[in-house]
Structure 1
Amino acid sequence: METVDLNDWPGRELSDEELDVAYNVRRKAGPELFDRHMARYRAMSAAAVDGLPGRPGLRYDEASGERLDVWGIEEGRLRPVFVFVHGGYWMALSRHESSFMARALHERGVATVVPDYTLAPAATLEEIVRQVRASVAWVHRHGRGHGLDPDRIVVGGSSAGGHLTGMTMVGGWQEDLGLPADVVKAAMPFSGLFDIRPITRVYVNATVGLDVARAAALSPALLPAERRCPAVVAVAEHDGDGFLLQSRLFQRHWNAGDLMVVPDRDHFDVVLDLADPDSAVSRALLGLFATL
């Protein structure tokens, strides 16, 4: 791995106020629109899993006690798995707002797994990354007992969940958990953060508490990846400028997938298109499964 210049990161020349504009998508949306989006997350997730076959509340990590939900399984058959990691800048939301795609995927033959993780500041970002990787390990080790195919795992996530998706795509962690290097067969991060050094200078860092060196060590765009799984890097047309830049840079860095700029969507509603099986993002996700 090449030595990383800690002071050379995208947007470093911007003022703190300019960085906040680029990365504070909640402020960009405004309180009324933000609250409306969050209400949609909750309502759509509740509707998606109402009556859907599944096994919610399974403990996947003994150390933290964190749990995940399994949705859209079929008795007597192993289904490919979409592991969806929620966003919230590592400090908000949960699995309960994050299963809105489960019914649409179930109808297309794909199961959904939605893990919780301990939110900052109760957990460091290193610990959050460990937990998300542990959830993937749980699917690989125990999935068969819950109708999940451990050899067909696709990981995706939105915003901070896009960052955490990236941290499952890179190498260097699978062996320690007894996993094959290709445990994640494909990935679809939405509006992700892949070089998180800019976060050290925006409001989020008051909760996450990173310095530049730790941020670099937790940046998927700066970490080794001898095997580059197929990926679709999705971002909204009306996203924050920082997220648009991050997605473009990571797609070029990853060099094993497509950049998908979704028209007429913002940072919060782009991922909700996964609830519509005929949307462009759903077709892209199902296209990844078709390659497995």
Structure 2
Amino acid sequence: MLKNLGCATLLAASAVAVGTAAAAPMSLKNYMDLQGPEPDVHLAYGTQPSQFVELFKPEGHGPFPVAIVIHGGCWTVEFGGIKQMHNVAGDLARRGIAVWNVEYRRVDEEGGGYPGTYQDISAALNLLQASAGKYGLDANRVVAIGHSAGGQLAQWAAARKKLPVSSPLYQPDPLPIPVVISLGGLADLRREEKLIKSSCDRDMVQLTGTPSTMRPDVFSDTSSAEMLPVGGSTILINGELDTVSPPRVGEDYAKRAREAGDHAEAIILTGASHYDEIAATSPSWKIVLAHILKALGMPQAAEK
């Protein structure tokens, strides 16, 4: 059954109960094999190979609402990432939603980790603000969707308006992100340090850097949980069978966010793994899609 901390929609609850029962949970191999259409536009925001975004445009002239998609992969190049996101990007574009599919330097790439990975996310979103008019995008109607490590980065992106000027990651007037949908995310770096090590084999210093006189608490500008409340809404969706980011992770973060005054919901997908929510052919995608459409103020998808 669907477990929900918060007030998830009846539509989402019904879809979970009906949609996930018959399908086998996706494996890592299933995820790595995901395919989809090629992007319409490739845009660089830096000079390094991983500093680019892909734009998937719907048919028509827009302005189109935008789904900012940030892939996971345990912050490493080993587990794919942006290519696998083509699968859901194609589905969203078909439904009239532009997709801003973000690539970034990971911890095992030159310049990745702290602060480079975070600076890449900021640069990619700055490019969205600067390019919206040219490509018929509505930068006032956005939702950020992050999977696994990308969930941490998507939640950070929405929280970065709280960064102190003293942080190397500070930027003025960041793109407002009113809703984040975190899919198996690992956003609470301080409290989930042991899980991140066991699930992803990441040493926290790779994600946070080292303390300094100006920055004694390394979580203060890297973990969105330390910047609560951030305003807006966070939807945390975890597969019931997820061993990378178990359901407890979403529940704990939602509770912490609500106690700080934010709106947050935790949703558990029956029979789903860490990967089902990012495959457009998975029954779990119906639940995720419902929340994306709601965040963008679009009609709910009809059942097929």
The TM-score normalised by the length of structure 2 is: 0.72
Name the structure where helix makes up a greater proportion of residues.
Answer: 1
Inter-CA distance 151–267: structure 2 relative to 1 (3 Å threshold):
same
Matched positions, count: 250
**Pairing 1:94-109 to 2, within 5 Å after superposition:** 94-109=81-96
**Pairing 1:100-249 to 2, within 5 Å after superposition:** 100-122=87-109, 123-170=112-159, 171-173=161-163, 176-179=170-173, 183-197=176-190, 198-199=192-193, 201-202=197-198, 203-205=201-203, 208=206, 213-215=217-219, 217-225=221-229, 227-240=230-243, 242-249=245-252
- Is the CA contact 1:155–1:187 (under 8 Å) kept in the aligned structure 2? yes
CA distance in 1 between partners of 2:247 and 2:282 (Å): 22
CA distance in 1 between partners of 2:193 and 2:116 (Å): 17
- Is the CA contact 2:240–2:246 (under 8 Å) kept in the aligned structure 1? no
How much is the aligned-residue C-alpha RMSD, in angstroms? 3.1
1:159 maps to amino acid: S
CA distance in 1 between partners of 2:257 and 2:207 (Å): 27
CA distance in 2 between partners of 1:205 and 1:104 (Å): 35
CA distance in 1 between partners of 2:248 and 2:115 (Å): 24
Q: 1:285 aligns with which of 292, 299, 303?
A: 292
Q: Where does residue 24 of structure 1 map in the other structure? A: none
- Is the CA contact 1:238–1:264 (under 8 Å) kept in the aligned structure 2? yes
Q: Tell me, yes or no, if structure 1 residue 251 matches structure 2 residue 254.
A: yes
Q: Where does residue 82 of structure 1 map in the other structure? A: 67
Structure 1 residue 289 displacement after superposition? 0.8
Q: Where does residue 21 of structure 2 map in the other structure? A: none
Select the structure with the greater relative contact order (CA < 8 A; seq sep ≥ 6): 2
- Is the CA contact 1:193–1:243 (under 8 Å) kept in the aligned structure 2? no
More displaced 10-residue stretch of structure 1: 185-194 or 202-211: 202-211
List gaps (5 residues or longer) in structure 1: 1-31
- Is the CA contact 1:84–1:112 (under 8 Å) kept in the aligned structure 2? yes
List gaps (5 residues or longer) in structure 2: 1-25, 212-216, 299-304
CA distance in 2 between partners of 1:206 and 1:254 (Å): 22
More displaced 10-residue stretch of structure 1: 78-87 or 169-178: 169-178
Structure 1 residue 207 displacement after superposition? 9.1
CA distance in 1 between partners of 2:184 and 2:235 (Å): 11
The TM-score normalised by the length of structure 1 is: 0.74
1:261 maps to amino acid: I
